[in-house]
Amino acid sequence: MTEGHITAMTTQAAENKRAPKIAAFTSSGRILMAGAALIFMITLLVYLPATRNDFVDWDDGAYIVENRHIRPLDLQFLQWAFTSFYAANWHPVTWISHALDVALWDLDARMHHFTNISLHAINTVLVFLLGLRLIARVRARDTSDGLPSQTGTGILPAFLTALLFGLHPIHVESVAWMAERKDLLCAFFVLLSMLQYLQYTAANYKSKRSRALLLGLLFFALAAMSKPMAVTLPVILILLDIYPLKRFNLSSLTGMRPLILEKVPFFVISLISGILTIVAQHSAGATAPLIYHGMLIRFINAIRSLVFYLEKIAFPFELAPIYPFPLHFDPGSAVYVVSSLIVIGITIYCIWMWPKEKPIWLTTWSIYVISLLPVIGILQVGNQAAADRYAYLPSIAPFLLIGLGGEWIWRKKYSEKFPYLIGGLAVTCFTLIFTGLSYLTVQQIKIWTNSEVLWKYEISIFPKSAALAYNNLGFIYNGRGLVDEAIEQYEKALEINPNYALALANLGNNYRKKGYPGRAKALYEKAIKVNPKYTGAMLNLADVWMSEGLVEKAVLEYEKVLEIDPESAEGHYSLGVAYYEQGRLEKAISHYQKALDLNPEYSEAYYNLGISYEKAGMPDNAISAYEAALKIDPLNSQIHNNLGSIYGTKGMFEEASREFQKVLELGPENGIAYYNLSGIFFLQKEFALAVEYCDKALKLNYPVPEGYLKTLESYRPSPNP
């Protein structure tokens, strides 16, 4: 046999050997594609009712509806996104996402919700792919790309894990609440980073490894710029190195140094993100000082939280927007003691299972705990003891265990005498579970329909501790002009928490509306005593001083506001008003301009700037200011009237007449507009019209000066003899 024949036969054998693998991979690939598509569509359909929901008054306003910074989408916006600590956060990627939505859909809540839903559906698919790769590495079927080499290997548990993640109602808060876009984006990039890391550890070629690691680092940076909860990812990657990747021997710690070094860039990003977050939260006063929740309380609550989220995963009922701290915290109460025992018990069990060749228990438990660390309450932000949104990423670990458990039950049918019965029962159980979760999710979505529904639901769950919900419900009633109803809600909030600064200030606002400035001042002063950096209460207190003619006291209060928050547009505007009252026009103009630098859409600042220019003898500047105000608020008759008056003094009678006519279009009963038009007609020597419009002003009881009336007398038509 010749050498050529040997080569030919060897080649043929190789081709025959490879053919089944290609066929298997193709079959598996089709199953993966079908599974991913099915997961995406199911998740999307279940969450689609959220598109009927509106924005809510819990951060949605600050993040989107009232956030002037995210429009327009330009270089100035990008600079702001990466350099500001707006709303006590530093998450530029989240701001960019909201800005894109506003640029595309303006404030159409349906489309903003659809973006959230789509992101969640994509994340669910990524959880499916991550589960596949992790399970494949555990079972060591094929380490060339991290995907299973045999049809069906790992697909069932990954599919179950993904559906649990996609359909569980504990994730409704992250999806149906617009302000939690940051949760979805953070998870999206974390999952991509983990997938790239698995690719990096499986790749055979250096070029592929480097690319995968760099992509993983990039995705992690984007995750950290979406929400700082991603900061624990480097530690989670080390845990994956131990199991299932087995990149070093834990007993001897051999090979650990290079694995730590490769993650140094990840830790650097975590450190930077952590520092920026602490600065952002602290600058806005969002971190609760130890005086409110001591370290012992925080530690015990952290232990309780670990069990609390597992409880809500197992029994997803009475899920609430806010789980408040108990009014009277007792570390020795049964709920905290039992929670501590459960955490200790789970930890001991997981450690005990490690040498029994079942390290998955300790790995998943460790990942669950570590991923919750940033939000578990040691560094307390806000006044909630826990929040559903905090479980978005950490829930993947227990869901993976449940998915593997589901596969174990499914496989039992092959070893039982009645495989079809076992299989049928398994399918029935899976169907009932996912149908039940879908139903609960749809019901939970309804809670986020609008602000009123949301806060009434919160009150129904925690009637004796829902201070924030009562306050926010009062704010809704106040917006509708229901002052007495609003006062009732604020007083309920203060019954629960007498030192609730926001409710104190809001109650003060409503008493001021009802004509009780003394009560309002007392409430503002108490709010400031509770929170010495509460600029909103300071502004309101200064406004009362202004209304009482105590301008000097108001100026001192406004100056305190600007010491605390130099970028308060409202503070600069109010101080400008006070300086104007004192006749300090130059300072008034300066502060109006600063207010407009901070908020170019501040029509009141333009209007008052125009008045100041007018009084300072700068009519051209006044005209520019009034015209700018009208671009923002074109239906403001007062601005039209002032602009018309300046045009008249400059001899621009046509322009003046146009502005006064516009005033009458907006309000036909406006006596001053008739009087001003009468004056314009008189200057144009159209005396009959001047008389006619003066008479109209008189009919509306406008106080026309006696001198002008006497002047017009000679132009009135003589009475018939």
Q: Which DSSP string corresponds to 345-384? A: HHHHHHHHHGGGT-THHHHHHHHHHHHHGGGSSSS-BSSE
Burial of 13 (0-12, 13-18, 19+ CB in 10 A): exposed
Whole-number Å distance between alpha carbons of 244 and 154: 14
pLDDT > 60? residue 455: yes
Three-state DSSP state, 151: coil
- Residue 257's pLDDT band (boundaries 50, 70, 90)? confident
Residue 175, pLDDT > 80, answer yes
Domain membership flag for residue 212: yes
* CA angle at 40 for the pair 35 and 45, rounded to the nearest 5°: 130
pLDDT, mean of residues 359-388: 86
Is the pLDDT at 590 greater than 80? The verdict is yes
Query: 656-682, pLDDT tens digit by residue?
Result: 999 999 999 999 999 999 999 999 999
| DSSP string over 472-526 | HHHHHHHHTT-HHHHHHHHHHHHHH-TT-HHHHHHHHHHHHHTT-HHHHHHHHHH
Final residue before a domain boundary, out of 412, 435, 462: 412
Residue 330: its pLDDT value, please? 80
- Residue 278: both structure tokens together: 């602490």
Largest CA distance in the chain: 143
Position 286 scores a pLDDT of 54
Q: How far is CA 25 from CA 36, 145, 152, 286, in A?
A: 16, 12, 10, 52
Place of tokens 């409430």: 523
207-211, 395-399, 691-695 — which is least confidently predicted? 207-211
pLDDT for position 142: 42
Task: Give the pTM.
Answer: 0.85
Least confident of 17-21, 346-350, 409-413: 17-21
* Number of residues that make up the chain: 721
Cβ within 8 Å of residue 526, ≥6 positions away: 504
**pLDDT value of residue 414:** 60
> What pLDDT does 423 receive?
75
- Least confident span in 188-202, 282-296, 604-618, 629-643: 282-296
* Count: domains in the chain: 2
Alpha-carbon distances of 303 from 139, 299, 310, rounded to whole Å: 33, 6, 12
Q: How many other CB atoms sit within 10 Å of the CB of residue 106?
A: 10
- Distance of alpha carbon 90 from alpha carbon 282, whole angstroms: 12
| 153 inside domain | yes
Q: Tell me the mean pLDDT in the region 195-219.
A: 89
Of 175, 139, 180, 194, nearest to 50 by C-alpha is 175
Query: Looking at this protein, which amino acid is placed at residue 496?
Result: I
Mean pLDDT over 573-581 rounds to 97
User: How far does CA 86 lie from the centroid of its chain?
Assistant: 11
Select from 214, 225, 355, 368 the least CA-distant residue to 305. 368
pLDDT range class, residue 150, cuts 50, 70, 90: very low
Last residue of a domain, one of 363, 395, 412: 412
- Kindly state the average pLDDT of the residues 3-22: 34
Taking residues 601-617, what's their average pLDDT?
95
Give residue 623's pLDDT: 96
Q: What is the mean pLDDT of residues 472-483?
A: 95
- Alpha-carbon separation of residue 429 from 310, 401, 434 (angstroms): 20, 17, 9
Whether 442 is covered by a domain: the verdict is no
End-to-end CA, the chain: 143
Q: For residue 46, give both structure tokens.
A: 């279940």
- Look at residue 84 and tell me if it is in a domain: yes
**Helices and strands, counts by H and E, the chain:** 33, 2
Residue 114 lies in a domain: yes
Average pLDDT, the chain: 89
Neighbours of 561 (CB within 10 A): 24
Last residue of a domain, one of 412, 433, 457: 412
Question: What local confidence, expressed as pLDDT, does residue 145 receive?
Answer: 38
- 172-180: average pLDDT: 97
Segment (H or E) for 324? strand 323-324
Secondary structure of residue 639 in the 3-state scheme:
helix
pLDDT surpasses 60 at 4: no
User: Using CA atoms, how far apart are residues 444 and 440, in angstroms rounded to an integer?
Assistant: 6
Segment (H or E) for 279: helix 264-283
What burial class does residue 90 get, using C-beta atoms within 10 Å of its C-beta: 0-12 exposed, 13-18 middle, 19+ buried? buried
Residues 537 and 549: their CA atoms lie apart, in Å, by: 19
**Are 158 and 396 within 8 A, CB to CB?**
no
CB-CB contact of 304 with 336 (8 Å): yes
% of the chain with per-residue pLDDT over 70: 89
Per-residue pLDDT, averaged over 451-461, amounts to 97
Which residue is it, tokens 């950490």? 394
In angstroms, the CA 472 to CA 455 distance is: 7
Q: Tell me, what's the pLDDT at 684?
A: 92
Give mean pLDDT, residues 496-522. 95
Query: What's the confidence (pLDDT) of residue 380?
Result: 56
H-type helices in 396-500, by residue range? Answer: 396-412, 419-447, 451-461, 467-479, 483-496
Q: Are 606 and 579 in contact (CB under 8 A)?
A: no
pLDDT in tens, 269-327: 999 999 998 888 876 665 554 445 567 888 888 999 999 999 999 999 999 999 988 77
701 domain-assigned = yes
What is the mean predicted confidence (pLDDT) over 217-238?
A: 97
Q: Is the pLDDT of residue 718 over 80?
A: no
Residue 650 predicted with pLDDT over 80: yes
**CA dist 198 to 20, 28, 156, 190, 458, Å?**
26, 19, 20, 12, 42
Q: Pull the structure tokens for residue 576.
A: 């400008």
Reference 231, options 185, 190, 183; nearest CA is: 190
Q: What pLDDT score does 385 carry?
A: 84
Dist. CA 691–CA 145, nearest whole Å: 91
From 247-251, 660-664, 708-712, the region with the lowest mean pLDDT: 247-251
Residue 87 has pLDDT above 50, yes or no: yes
DSSP code at position 548: T
Average pLDDT for residues 150-175, to the nearest whole number? 89
* C-alpha to C-alpha distance for 350 and 448, rounded to whole angstroms: 38
Cis peptide before 72 (omega within 30 of 0): yes
Domain that residue 663 falls in? 635-721
Bond before 244 cis per omega within 30 degrees: yes
| Residue 528, both tokens | 């400031």
Give the three-state DSSP class for 150: coil
CA distance 428 to 521: 64
d(CA 227, CA 619): 50
Residue with tokens 């929740």: 293
How far is Cα 148 from Cα 135, in angstroms, rounded to an integer? Answer: 8
**What was the pLDDT predicted at 333?**
87
pLDDT band at 146 (very low <50, low <70, confident <90, very high): very low
What's the pLDDT band for 253 if we cut at 50, 70, 90?
low
Residue 37 burial (C-beta neighbours within 10 Å; 0-12, 13-18, 19+): exposed
Q: Is residue 75 part of a domain?
A: yes
pLDDT of residue 418: 64
Q: What is the CATH number of the domain that holds 708?
A: 1.25.40.10
Q: Is residue 547 part of a domain?
A: no
**pLDDT given at position 254:** 65
Q: Is the pLDDT of residue 19 over 60?
A: no
Q: What is the pLDDT of residue 559?
A: 96
